[in-house]
Structure 1
């Protein structure tokens, strides 16, 4: 991958000064909302945060998603300068058909004209998504292509001199956006129609393939088979990750590149127009209160009784930062002892009364009997995240591999799961509402959860299932209500308890991990050849505690989250003209390296593991300086052929070294 990179002199990295921090968001905006007025402290041609100069040309490699023409419209003039100070000069937003043509034949571009005026004033670029929100009279758009083309031509002809690239649809592989069951062939027809219309207006304009949800290779190939590969200039994906970005992101991009090669379009660039992590606390509100109430019902106190969690990196269990059992089920527990799978058999349930199982459906079958013995002797296991024990985990070639094992183990544990899709093929994936069970009326329940219900089908002898809260859902058979969270209180061959919520949890992270993933995700994608990345999103609406409301780099009042500073630090270290970016890894540690035009190198060092990792390095260079992922001064690796450096899960940026290699 090649960028251009303009560097300050070696050693320009400085600690983010107290004076700069004092000036964060110090000035009141016109509308009275407190927001960041970030002033960079310049000294000796060095930028205080991390020392890289900004020398942008549009379009930028660094973008962001923002609903500028929707709920964010009143503060557009305040948001754009804050974006720009983070190195963002490319903004993606919906060019809503329903907004610009509220009635057929009546056009109103007043909001979009105003947005574009503000964009131009900041010397930024905008990427519109067509059609955005579709008016009911024309929905779904693929069934109204003549009307769609009229709308598209009206937009492109109006803005062809101000907008150079146009994205044709957002996530058409999802029913909620496509407006019908996803149909690759129909999308190919719509894309062809759009492409030909745009090129007839100005052949120099660029057309983006739809920003598909994930990297759905089958869907994409079916559109290619239907001719779509000929009707776009830029490929486009939304590769949201449900674990560490290192786990799947590079392989997903490689698979896409192979598919493009197969269809003879490998020369077309790849953009990511959405990617990000939410820092919502939804599970903290719903799950933690429910699990705490369940323990109280059982007469257990996580503050006094021993709490352990199954944590076994060899099997890939417990080490997913997006699904950490203690953070989800018992975030207030100050002491949680990690035990390996081997350690379960030696666990005394009288001293260690509470055991947190790994989030998700995987558990090695070789350790099932040890867990049964723990519960059988009176221990309490706690679980969240789908059908437990549904996947076995085995070690193959030194790596954990998941294999389907079914629901047989549920009978051994006297528990049962009713998935919504088993009730009816038309059963909704999410509940309509939540309701506290008797004895748990004080629970604060909000949001929606996946329709995985607790059942008493496998209870034996004097076992009981005690509901904690219910989920309600409407489907073609009427309204359904069943427990989403429950206590299985055993009084049979088993004498302990199984406290569970079988719903799949939303994929959320802490604000700290949200910030750490900014640079890691983007560097991994750039290294695979992705040219431009739009982070989703800039501003959190914070309407509630659900996942969608907390993706932002800044809060609703425009104050920064750590992820804003992480984005800014990355954009200043990896500037527009960077080139020859490559990444090497060893034992969970990663070294990214890139060069400036004059050959000076910069490095990014991190680990995908939760705990710091000490690695021996060969480091060459004399004046070596470093900053962390937030721009603060950090310890740099020492020069030498046998230097030991501590890799952390937040990036350490290093400047001044000639080379850094694993020993």
Structure 2
């Protein structure tokens, strides 16, 4: 059996619509696992009405392609939130869901990233998760002792959270351990160096508290596809400049090329020429030199595409804007992640507290997401600009969805 899988939102939205085709592609690629939310709120709605049709389609398609589903029992409903404080209602959902699929699905994951407040729905508490896991485990085993329970995938490699849950008795109530050891892609070289050490910690803790080793699964890992460069960036940057400078830029464009700032490593002169307006007059600078930029000489500064930014230079960039400079940001939500200088001199995204909410707000950029702001939609159809639509012609426009939104509120 292939050990490779995808983590996909197969139960709803655009990924559900694209599921048959995507599962065919997965099978062709030798991928035999798909991890997906079997969320309570998608099954029982309204309260007392149970509907598995959308998940039946997922399981049927998976069977046809020879793909194993790893379902996640997770999240809360409006009438039972947070779930761990409503055990009777939660366990009723568990019983109905596991019973419905027990002959087709062998492994069951209990929650997702319970060490993060946004997912747990309350202050993360390893002792509470241990109690929650125990109740869920026993319920699943009552239905069928041969079913296997997977510890909820932890965000990162939080050995302290895991150990405290084991000290609270969690070790008896799972068959497979589960982590999400994201390394942060190109911006976390330091984290990559510690990967083996981090994994070993979890193995050692399992043996210490459980008296034996247990399988350790990685059910989320990786990083985003690199931001679209070249033609898409040119459309975007050119459009912004045309709006702001209809008579042309009264000076040069400053762009970043810095070998210690991973998002810009590959953005040499030739690459920036593809991204900036045709025949643009520009000059490249390392990130630390941007502090000395004069907006009169360089009225436009374009940062590398991406969502990471070295926090040390926030004041300099902010002053550049205050002094009249135009800052162009593309390739994601600006200033979404902070970067700190690593031990080898490279800027990296920290594993703990990587988000830079206060930084983005200091630039008057506020972002709303469904997992942090109640009432924000999880998926909203996108309307693409004509030029961008050309470059994304292979994607049906009606299938493209947005899940993060800018706001002018404080």
Q: TM-score, normalised by structure 1?
A: 0.43
Measure, in 2, the Cα distance between the counterparts of 1:99 and 1:316.
42
Mapping 1:322-341, distance limit 5 Å: 331-334=275-278, 336-340=282-286
Q: CA deviation at 1:128?
A: 0.9
The number of residues matched between the two structures is: 355
Report the equivalent of 1:86. Answer: 29
Pairwise CA distance, 1:193: 1.4
In the superposition, relative to structure 1, how do residues 224 and 327 fare at CA in structure 2: closer, same or farther (>3 Å)?
farther
- Confirm whether residue 361 of structure 1 aligns to residue 310 of structure 2: yes
Match of 2:207 in 1: 264
Aligned mates of 1:228, 1:83 — CA distance in 2: 34
- Could you say which structure has the larger radius of gyration? 1
Deviates more, 1:333-342 or 1:166-175: 333-342
Query: Residue 543 of structure 1 is aligned with which of 369, 381, 384?
Result: 381
Equivalent residue for 1:292, pick from 235, 241, 248: 241
Instruction: Report deviation, 1:131.
Output: 3.2
In the alignment, structure 1 segments of 5+ residues that lack a partner are 1-56, 403-418, 422-449, 455-483, 485-501, 507-540, 547-553, 560-663
* Change in CA separation of 1:312 and 1:221 when aligned onto 2, cut-off 3 Å: same
Whole-angstrom distance in 2 between the partners of 1:345 and 1:280: 25
Aligned equivalents of 2:357, 2:325: Cα separation in 1:
27
Query: C-alpha displacement at 1:143, in angstroms?
Result: 1.0
Q: CA deviation at 1:255?
A: 1.9
Deviation at 1:381? 7.3
Contact 1:386–1:504 (Cα < 8 Å) also in 2: no
Please tell me whether residue 129 in structure 1 is matched to residue 129 in structure 2.
no
Does residue 184 (structure 1) correspond to residue 129 (structure 2)? The answer is: no
In 2, Cα distance between equivalents of 1:103 and 1:345:
55
CA–CA separation in structure 2 for the residues paired with 1:91 and 1:62: 9
Give me the whole-angstrom Cα distance separating, in 1, the residues matched to 2:94 and 2:292. 67
Q: In structure 1, what is the equivalent of residue 96 of structure 2?
A: 154
8 A Cα contact 2:71 2:109, kept in partner: yes
Residue 61 of structure 2: aligned partner: 118
Alignment gaps of 5+ in structure 2: 349-355, 370-378, 385-393, 400-410
Per the TM alignment, residue 130 of structure 1 is displaced from its structure 2 partner at its CA by: 0.6
Contact 2:134 2:170 in 1 (8 A): yes
1:569-594 deviation line (CA, Å, top 9, x unaligned) = xxxxxxxxxxxxxxxxxxxxxxxxxx
Pick from 258, 261, 264 the counterpart of residue 319 of structure 1. Answer: 264
Q: 1:542 to 1:103 in 2, by over 3 A?
A: closer
Alignment of structure 1 residues 174-253 onto 2, 5 Å: 174-244=116-186, 247=189, 248-249=191-192, 251-252=194-195
Does the 8 Å contact 2:37/2:73 carry over to 1? yes
- The answer as to whether partners of 2:115 and 2:155 remain within 8 angstroms in 1 is yes
CA distance in structure 2 between the partners assigned to 1:177 and 1:244 by the alignment: 26
Q: Give 1:318 deviation, angstroms.
A: 5.4
Distance 1:340 1:103 in 2: 55
1:277 correspondence with 2:224? yes
Q: Judging changes above 3 Å, is the alpha-carbon distance between structure 1 residues 293 and 142 closer, same or farther for their aligned structure 2 residues?
A: farther
User: SS where residue 452 of structure 1 aligns?
Assistant: helix
Alpha-carbon deviation of 1:451?
5.6
Please give the alpha-carbon distance, in whole angstroms, between the structure 2 residues aligned to 1:355 and 1:243: 25
State yes or no: 1:309 paired with 2:255.
yes
Distance of 1:545 and 1:241 partners within structure 2: 32
Kindly tell me: are residues 243 and 337 of structure 1, through their superposed partners in 2, closer, same or farther at Cα, counting changes over 3 Å? farther
The alpha-carbon deviation at position 244 of structure 1 amounts to 1.0
Q: CA deviation at 1:126?
A: 1.0
Residue 352 of structure 2 aligns with which residue?
none
Kindly state the Cα deviation for residue 84 of structure 1 after the two structures are TM-superposed.
Answer: 1.6
Cα distance change, pair 105–341 in 1 and its aligned pair in 2 (3 A): closer
Cα separation, partners in 2 of 1:277 and 1:420, compared to 1, 3 Å: closer
Q: Deviations over 1:13-61 (max 9, x none)?
A: xxxxxxxxxxxxxxxxxxxxxxxxxxxxxxxxxxxxxxxxxxxx3xx32
Q: Give the whole-Å Cα distance in 2 for the aligned partners of 1:345 and 1:187.
A: 47
Tell me the distance in 1 between the aligned counterparts of 2:196 and 2:233: 33
Q: Contact 1:77 / 1:118 at 8 angstroms: preserved in 2?
A: yes
Q: Distance in 1 between matches of 2:302 and 2:98?
A: 55
The alpha-carbon deviation at position 225 of structure 1 amounts to 3.4
Go from structure 1 to structure 2 and tell me whether the alpha carbon gap of 1:504 and 1:260 turns closer, same or farther (over 3 Å shift).
Answer: farther
Contact 1:174 1:182 in 2 (8 A): yes
1:143 has 2:92 as partner: no
Cα contact 1:357–1:381 (8 A) shared by 2? no
User: In the alignment, which of 448, 452, 456 is matched to residue 361 of structure 2?
Assistant: 452
C-alpha RMSD of the superposition: 5.2
CA shift for structure 1 position 148: 1.9
1:167 to partner: Cα distance: 0.8
